[in-house]
Copies of this chain bind each other. A is one copy, B any other.
């Protein structure tokens, strides 16, 4: 097959699988609002779009700013482009109104504002019966195909390189913000279009805040430093955390580190097709419990990763998702103790028949700088 035919058959098969889910949800049509879902189904990466999936065709509505980009990006996917003059919602609504019979159209209520829904209703009139259907495209996106896995391996490889490049710069006196700037500069110099999220550099007492943003605080001697960073490369995200110590670490800190690493390894070992997301989380938690650290592990063990930095599944208590081959998840246990500091170790892994395979490659051993 030519490259074009591969691309076309890929998008077609995504849409075909989507139509199966759609019919199970009791709808014939799907109106897609969420841009990452539109990108996945059509290839379009602009900032204004609506995608209408019908039983026998797919239409992208966008505006005149994106005429050329849209035609180029969806060329191989079999999607038709409509440049909307009076707003995307009106164009999509009017297209739905033209049908002979009343149709059932699915949408996802968390991705549609009250104002958008109102404009859509005004344009579509009574011709539509709306069906609120959550996560249809997200369920497909959770399982990556071969070309997606290749792109994700590149994004993960890139961020691993960036960490090793930045490592020698972590020293007393440099501020968290400055180190975060070095990280984001280094990823862009290696071809990333940008960070997948605002890079976290949290040192000393601030390392104990799981959601710290980098500040103007300078890194001090004898401090833990948590570095959580990810890059977007060719549209796919990476997300990796490492924790280092500046100086010679007290035994207590070293033991904490070894416990977190052991918890991460236990979680990775629990990953296989057929295992539940909650079981992976439990594996990490049990190790920390044995070290009397479980109560300092205040978040879930990981999350899906792909076009977005947080996707399905969530590796946490209560998530019943059964892992499947081709899923990509982060594995990131952490402990945060006020007065001591925080330690988190995070890798991106693929679920394979042989278990978890690491995509991120940076050194995991305890580093004293």
Identical chains in the assembly = 2
Is A181 at the interface (CB under 8 A from chain B)?
yes
Q: Which listed residue (B117, B188, B194) contacts A114, Cβ 8 A?
A: B117
A96 to chain B, nearest CB (A): 17
Q: Mark A178-217, 1 if CB is under 8 A from B, else 0.
A: 1011101100110101100010000000000011010010
Which of B113, B181, B188, B198 is A113 in contact with, Cβ under 8 Å? B113
Please determine whether B109 and A112 come into contact, CB atoms closer than 8 angstroms: no
* B residues in contact with A189, CB < 8 Å: 178, 181
- Minimal beta-carbon separation of A48 from chain B (angstroms): 10
Pick the residue among B113, B178, B185, B198 that contacts A111 (CB under 8 A): B113
A65 within 8 A of B: yes
Question: How far is the CB of A47 from the nearest CB of chain B, in Å?
Answer: 8
Residue in contact with A177 in the complex, picked from B110, B118, B191, B213, CB distance below 8 Å: B191
B residues within 8 A CB of A118? Answer: 109
A115 contacts B by Cβ under 8 Å: yes
Please determine whether B194 and A198 come into contact, CB atoms closer than 8 angstroms. yes
- Establish whether residues A113 and B112, one from each chain, have CB atoms under 8 Å apart when the complex forms: yes
* 23 intermolecular pairs with C-beta atoms under 8 Å apart: A65-B211, A109-B113, A109-B114, A109-B115, A109-B118, A110-B113, A110-B114, A110-B115, A111-B113, A112-B114, A113-B114, A114-B114, A114-B117, A115-B132, A178-B188, A178-B189, A180-B188, A181-B184, A184-B188, A185-B185, A191-B216, A193-B213, A194-B198
